Amino acid sequence: MSLEKVADFLTQHDNYDILTHAYPDGDTLGSGYALCLALQQIGKNARVITTNLPGDFEFLLDGVKKQSFDAQTVVSVDIASEQLLGCNKERYSGRIDLCVDHHEINRVEAAVKHVESDAAANCEILYRLFRLMKLDITKQIANCLYTGISTDTGCFRYTNTTAETLRIAADLLELGADTEYINKVMFETKTKKKIALEREIYDTIEYCCGDKCAIIFVTLEMKKKLNVSDDELEGLASIPRQIEGVLVGITMRERDEGGFKVSVRSDSHVNAAEFCARFGGGGHAAAAGCTVKGSLDEAKAKLISEIEDFI
Amino acid sequence: MSLEKVADFLTQHDNYDILTHAYPDGDTLGSGYALCLALQQIGKNARVITTNLPGDFEFLLDGVKKQSFDAQTVVSVDIASEQLLGCNKERYSGRIDLCVDHHEINRVEAAVKHVESDAAANCEILYRLFRLMKLDITKQIANCLYTGISTDTGCFRYTNTTAETLRIAADLLELGADTEYINKVMFETKTKKKIALEREIYDTIEYCCGDKCAIIFVTLEMKKKLNVSDDELEGLASIPRQIEGVLVGITMRERDEGGFKVSVRSDSHVNAAEFCARFGGGGHAAAAGCTVKGSLDEAKAKLISEIEDFI
């Protein structure tokens, strides 16, 4: 459906629950709070539904009114599949009316669906939507959109960054986005815990495919020892891919319920989404995920065997 | 002098030696090779004079013709002072005809001088110059300019990044700049050695001043064990400053001749140059350096005692 249809839908409905995905990142949260601010600006009731809000993202709440209402309309932002709703899945599954997303493969069922897989971030789509709706893109909205765009592009380093991405970022900077604060919090600050975690992670690096693939892992035991939460593990996935000569970086995170959550990051020679599809997962060409069952050694052996076959 | 004057100067002269600064970075080299390609495009003889060309930057040479000629015109790019010419200082001192720079304080003496201190990178100025001259900004020139702009802004993370910076980057991407390659080499790649080094460094972190200051060190023994050169230690200084809550990051590197080379990075609450002045050093408010004599324990104790007094 066209962006015009999305604009029409938003003006014609009211009382919005805006859904973000579990293990929330800057793009889903930036999208959620930007859309919430935009809807409140045009006189609608709206709230953002999250599984949790990591501390780094609390500034996104600035200017968002707490409204009390019965939800009538459910919108999902940056959500590729209802499986990603986490603890909100049961409540909202099958109830999504509007889906706005930028994932290559989107499995959400919604009456109105707008997916642009060439947008670097879902917040890029929202920026164009707000322009189309002639909304006032306030400093707060600009902060939310810049957060989504900068985090989903690794601050414009990743290959999903287009000329349009950079021009939207330029507009947002002029609209007052506090890029100094956002860049510092998102890209320049490391907690002491994170440093301790990286140190441990460095000891787990294992290479395969003639050093073209690097694998790291975090076990429940490591998490307990370092006292880190799942949120604090975000960002680890970029570590193995950064190593000189590595085309595919695989990050394994042991799950409470057993097995491993696997994040795959790759350069343009290797399609991460296709690789993850072998394990029933999905995502983008350069960044995808899946789940692998078994013990650490078993799961790692499966991944290594598949990646050696795949490359 | 206006950019128009610079354009006139370049078309009216010939046989260019283009000077870059010692310990060359992406902006001076990007500026140098971009200008060389531009001058060769309009039929001039030109070459870039460097003290050395680090391996990561060899791709900037693509498309540059090797020309043999007697130099008649000397241009300096991204050079704040003739002191920064390194081993080329003796040969070119007092001989600079045109100076194009973006440093706040520029001490170069030249007949034609164009300094824009609000430009995030010198390459930004050259982009506007080439547009003004209606040159064909080829893929190779775009690569050089993007290298300068992205490296001087930490890939658009630093506060010098403006809306114009981002828009020029967008243009360069459309002109064919290989941002995937450049970002990967400049910002995403860590050698295995560097990872091993960071791991060791993490074990040396010590906090003082109620965790407002963090200190790391590299001893000669560590360098030997990891087989790293001084070049490979560049960039370490940003590690302690990145830690959450840390206002001052101090990096100590043991010197062959004894004592420690100390790099201090601070946020706007603490003046690094003033602190380093206590040890006879100096620099900028946010980045300064000095030398401290003594054993590791002695030097560290001196630094801790002074910083506790200073903060």
| ipTM of the complex in this document | 0.85
Q: Which residues of chain A have pLDDT under 70?
A: none
Inspect the interface and report whether the beta carbons of B169 and A166 lie closer than 8 Å.
Answer: yes
Give yes or no for residue B250 having a pLDDT over 90. yes
On average, the pLDDT of chain B sits at 93
- Put simply, whether A225 touches B (Cβ < 8 Å) is no
Give residue B23's pLDDT band: very low, low, confident or very high (50, 70, 90).
confident
* Whole-number pLDDT of residue B138: 98
Which member of B184, B199, B243 has the closest CB to residue A192? B243
Picking from B167, B174, B195, the nearest residue to A243 by CB comes out as B195
Contact A243/B192, CB-based, under 8 Å? yes
Whole-number pLDDT of residue A235: 76
pLDDT of residue A192: 86
pLDDT in the model for residue A101: 97
Q: Which uninterrupted H or E stretch holds A282?
A: strand A282-283
User: Nearest 5°: phi and psi at A79?
Assistant: -115, 115
Residues of B with CB below 8 A from A188's CB?
157, 242
User: Which pLDDT score, from 0 to 100, does residue A311 have?
Assistant: 86
Q: Is the pLDDT of residue B235 over 80?
A: no
* Residue-level pLDDT at B218: 95
Residue B14 reports pLDDT greater than 90 = yes
Report the residue from B167, B179, B242 with minimal CB separation from A189.
B242
Identify the sign of the CA torsion B231, B232, B235, B237: negative
- Do the Cβ atoms of B242 and A161 come within 8 Å? no
* pLDDT at residue B101, as a whole number: 96
A243 CA to chain B: closest CA distance, Å?
5
| Closest residue in chain A to residue B186, using alpha carbons only | A157
Q: What is the structure's pLDDT at A193? A: 86
CB pair distance less than 8 Å for B199 and A199 = yes
- Show residues of chain A in contact with B163, CB under 8 Å: 170-171, 173-174
Q: Which residues of chain B does A170 touch, with a Cβ-Cβ cutoff of 8 Å?
A: 163-167, 170
Please report the DSSP string for A92-157 in residue order. Answer: HTT---EEEE--SS-----SEEEE-TT-SSHHHHHHHHHHHTT----HHHHHHHHHHHHHHTTTTT
Q: pLDDT tens digit string along B194-234?
A: 888 888 999 999 999 999 999 999 999 999 999 988 767 87
User: Could you tell me if B90 lies within 8 Å of chain A, comparing CB atoms?
Assistant: no
The pLDDT of residue B16: 98
State whether residue B185 is helix, strand or coil: helix
Q: Span B272-276, mean pLDDT? A: 91
Interval B286-305: pLDDT, tens? 888 899 999 999 999 999 99
pLDDT tens figures, A262-275: 999 998 889 999 99
On the question of pLDDT at B105 being above 90, the answer is no
Alpha-helical runs (H) found in chain B: 3-12, 26-41, 89-92, 122-132, 139-152, 163-174, 179-183, 192-202, 220-226, 238-241, 272-277, 296-310
Q: Given this model, what pLDDT does residue A129 score?
A: 98
A181 touches chain B (CB under 8 A): no
Phi, psi of A85 (to 5 degrees): -80, -10
* pLDDT confidence of residue A290: 96
pTM greater than the 0.90 cutoff: no
Say how far apart CA A246 and CA A95 lie, in whole Å.
42
Q: Would you give the DSSP letter of residue A243?
A: B
Q: Identify all chain A residues contacting B156, using CB atoms and an 8 Å cutoff.
A: 155-156, 169
